[in-house]
């Protein structure tokens, strides 16, 4: 962790009566800095908190919000919950894999898009659902995804710094 984020981490630790309760906020700090959780940072976070690396690993392996390898600028997560599956999530995943030329959990060569399948994004009423970065998109279709991909690519071509949204 860089010095600025180490100071953030120390401030987070001060807010929690038990250091172990600060784990998720600390992992967010690490992921914001690196874009993922590098293995050496697992040890650093464990040392900061006074817990074992296994404890940190157990949380990392449970939550899909944390990534163990770099992801693209746009992290597209397709829900695999039952409602989403019944209403076309597999078709959305296949479309993305073909359109972007990646496999499951793959990132495009240009580092722009990563596609993952996740267990549930809690939008069952409006399935199928997709999460892009931290925004949720219900009632997803291939056409909506295609429009998003085109918009994101255009923003990169034009040099716009904002992230595309549906």
Same domain, 91 and 22: no
Domain presence at residue 166: no
In this structure, the number of other CB atoms found within 10 A of the CB of residue 62 comes to: 9
- Of residues 125 and 161, the one with the higher pLDDT is 125
Q: Which two tokens stand for residue 116?
A: 């993952």
Q: What is the pLDDT of residue 161?
A: 59
pLDDT surpasses 90 at 64: no
Cβ burial of 161 (10 Å; 0-12, 13-18, 19+) is exposed
- For residue 87, give its domain range: 74-158
Specify which residues 79 forms β-bridges with: 118
Distance CA 119, CA 92 (A): 15
In this structure, the number of other CB atoms found within 10 A of the CB of residue 108 comes to: 16
Same domain, 85 and 27: no
Q: What is the pLDDT of residues 124-143, one digit of tens each?
A: 999 999 999 889 999 999 99
Average per-residue pLDDT for the chain: 92
Between β-strands 113-118 and 106-107, what pairing exists: parallel, antiparallel or unpaired? Answer: antiparallel
CATH number at residue 91: 3.40.30.10
CATH number at residue 31: 1.10.10
Domain presence at residue 82: yes
Query: How many folded domains does the chain comprise?
Result: 2
Helices (H), 16-111: 23-34, 39-49, 53-62, 82-86, 89-100
């Amino acid at each position: 962790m860089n010095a600025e984020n180490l100071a953030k981490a120390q401030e987070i630790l001060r807010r929690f009566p038990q250091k172990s309760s600060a784990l998720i906020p600390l992992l967010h700090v690490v992921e914001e800095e690196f874009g993922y959780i590098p293995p050496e940072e697992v040890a650093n976070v464990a040392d900061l908190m006074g817990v074992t690396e296994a404890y940190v690993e157990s949380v990392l392996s449970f939550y899909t919000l944390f990534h163990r390898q770099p992801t693209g600028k746009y992290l597209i997560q397709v829900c695999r919950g039952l409602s989403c599956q019944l209403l076309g999530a597999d078709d959305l995943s296949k479309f993305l894999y073909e359109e972007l030329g990646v496999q499951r959990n793959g990132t495009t060569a240009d580092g722009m898009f990563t596609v993952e399948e996740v267990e549930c994004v809690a939008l069952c009423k409006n399935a199928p659902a997709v999460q892009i970065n931290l925004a949720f998109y219900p009632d997803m279709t291939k056409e909506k995804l295609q429009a998003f991909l085109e918009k994101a690519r255009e923003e990169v071509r034009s040099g716009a710094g904002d992230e595309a949204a549906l």
